[in-house]
Structure 1
């Protein structure tokens, strides 16, 4: 048991989950501002930089969680759940950054209503992820567990809305856009934005599993 005594019995994982979720929301809000001010090159650069900064901060939290889980003797939830949750959350931040980078690399000239709608849904989904993650530290309380499950259900609904917007956007794109290069650019952006909500749903599924196991 000497090995166990040398290791911390429980790391502050829930606090780090919350820190990461805050960085996700920061990245999402910065991306939304990028989209809203896309016509201004200087502001576009500023908000792209803010997305990058939030993603790097999220990465640091992810690395710390993955490091700590190997040094902690007793974890508050299953180690696999910790790994899956933090790494899936990190995928959200990565996808937001990828969306901003793709718009720049593909030299997207302007944003349309579909990009704006998918962005709005992505922000809402990220905010709900933050709410859900904040609740898993107190699952012994039945009301908290119920609230967390309802938040996960809301994430699922937002993801379904994003699916519908995505399908309509792709249909319109292939019917109305004559420039093949624009089709390629916009399709890539649509898919990335919809993937953000998909990954948020993945986080919701992990949270639901934690709730059902520990509440």
Structure 2
């Protein structure tokens, strides 16, 4: 009986597309933070605003999922994918916020490297999600997802190199080392979450094909 009161369809693809757009904007802000003379407080504020926007998209998607009877693919996949995307936003926000809270005065070069990797990964995810409306795009979608997974591997290597450099040459200040280790780990976590999103997209395509 209650099914009659639920909307038959919701455009969940729009939620994914909108969220991925916000993610690329966050990565661009992260890159802007690395520019000489950047006002870290202003940039971190912009990233926080975008993270809240991403949260809002996620909440609206989940509310719509509760009210929608007919979905384009499995409900757990919709919930999982929007959650994966939001995890990327959270990781970027956590890293940026810590740079400000820890009163980091000079950014290490690895921040820019991570920002570039994250921007590439989120762009690939955005392209894959833009194609997801039509399963005839499966080969192109898979290519985008594979590219994201390769970037996650790069992220692992950058983290290893960053930590090696940090402990060998970074600072005689152990507190500063701990701060940077935490920042790097949040940035690398963003690439992990991007890989999770890519795997989720792959799973959707495989199950629907």
What TM-score range do you get, normalising by the shorter chain? over 0.9
3-state SS, counterpart of residue 36 of structure 1 = coil
Residue 88 of structure 1 corresponds to 84
Aligned to 2:143: 150
d(CA) in 1 for partners of 2:42, 2:122: 21
TM-score of the superposed pair, with normalisation by structure 2 = 0.95
Structure 2 residues without counterparts, runs of 5 or longer: none
Gapped regions of structure 1 (runs ≥ 5): none
* Partner of residue 189 from structure 1, selected from 183, 204, 207: 183
Kindly report which structure 2 residues correspond to 1:10-89, keeping only aligned pairs within 5 A, or say none: 10-37=9-36, 39-40=37-38, 43-89=39-85
1:170 Cα shift? 0.8
Distance 2:169 2:56 in 1: 43
Structure 1 segments of 4 or more deviating over 4 A?
none
**Cα shift at 1:10:** 1.1
Alpha-carbon distance in structure 2 between the residues aligned to 1:113 and 1:96:
16
TM-score calculated relative to the size of structure 1: 0.93
Kindly provide the CA deviation profile for residues 21-45 of structure 1, in whole angstroms up to 9, marking residues without a partner as x.
Answer: 11111111111111224x44xx222
* CA distance in 1 between partners of 2:46 and 2:128 (Å): 24
Contact 2:24 2:119 in 1 (8 A): yes
